[in-house]
Amino acid sequence: MKEQLAKMTIIELVRTAHSYSTSIKQTGVYSELVREMASRLEALNLAHIGAITALSSTEKDREQRAQGVEMFADRKSKELFSLHPDTHAIGSIAASKSAEVHELREFAAKLRAGEVI
């Protein structure tokens, strides 16, 4: 009987348990059904808790990485604004640093969205 129960879906187990519950003569089978359902429901519950924990951890990791990238972008932005006007080729340097800051901020947004690892 235990092998038959292992092959049933949870809804089939519930229906079978319901049909056996109407007959007092079948208490042994009913007990096995209840144990099997409890075991599967516990396994599903543990899997669900594990998935939620992993998701939460992943979101925290992504947020920390994004914050690190944004800190780097802030540093590059400060470098951009601290350029002395007499710096040779200031236009091209400023444009390059500005592009770097923009790319870093876009990357941080993609990290938060889970688009990159």
The pLDDT score that the predictor gives to residue 108 is 92
The pLDDT score that the predictor gives to residue 50 is 80
Mean pLDDT of 51-60: 75
The pLDDT score that the predictor gives to residue 31 is 74
Identify the band that residue 24 occupies on the pLDDT scale cut at 50, 70 and 90.
low
Helix (H, G, I), strand (E, B) or coil at 60: helix
pLDDT digits (tens, 9 = 90+) for 26-41: 666 667 777 788 888 8
Which of residues 57 and 4 earns the better pLDDT score? Answer: 4
Cα-based distances in Å from 15 to 24, 40, 116: 16, 15, 45
What residue segments make up the domains of the chain, in order of their start?
A: 2-113
pLDDT digits (tens, 9 = 90+) for 66-94: 999 999 999 888 887 777 676 666 777 77
**Vertex 83 angle, CA 97 and 68, to 5°:** 45
